[in-house]
Amino acid sequence: MKIYIGDNRKILPKLNLKFDCVITSPPYNFGKDYSIYKDNLSEKEYINNLKIVAECLYEKLSDNGTIFLSLGWKKGNPFLAEKIAQCFISCGFQLRERIIWMNTCPSYRNHQEKCLNQQWENIFLFSKTEQ
């Protein structure tokens, strides 16, 4: 097994292989201060970036392969994860499952904020086929 860390848009096109399983958790676009990535894109830019990733992944995924895509939830844009899932579907992927992960210790939340603490994240399971 080999683990690749980096920007999928740059790494995937250079690889001459097929994957059986991909686990990816792209930046959530919450405005986190990454040194090499702008994490406060417009919704359109963010989705377009992930569409590039989806197209690359479709090309590199084996016919029997699966992708686990982990996405956060944003109070100001509560349906963004579904829009991204739809983007992957538009690239040819089949949505096999939607998993709700109970994150008991989300590090990105301001615990002083006066609201209910959202503690779950979406994990979408995709494949090229329905099987």
pLDDT tens for 31-60 read 677 776 777 888 899 899 999 999 999 999
Angle at 14 between CA 11 and CA 15, to 5 degrees: 90
pLDDT for residue 72? 80
Burial (CB count <10 Å: 0-12, 13-18, 19+), residue 95: middle
Q: What three-state secondary structure class fits 17? A: coil
Instruction: Give the pLDDT of residue 67.
Output: 97
How many residues in total does the chain contain?
A: 131
Of 18, 36, 14, 17, the closest CA to residue 27 belongs to 36
Cα Rg of the chain, angstroms: 15
Average the pLDDT over each of 6-10, 69-73, 102-106 and give the range with the smallest value: 102-106
Residue 7 CA to residue 72 CA, distance in Å, equals 18
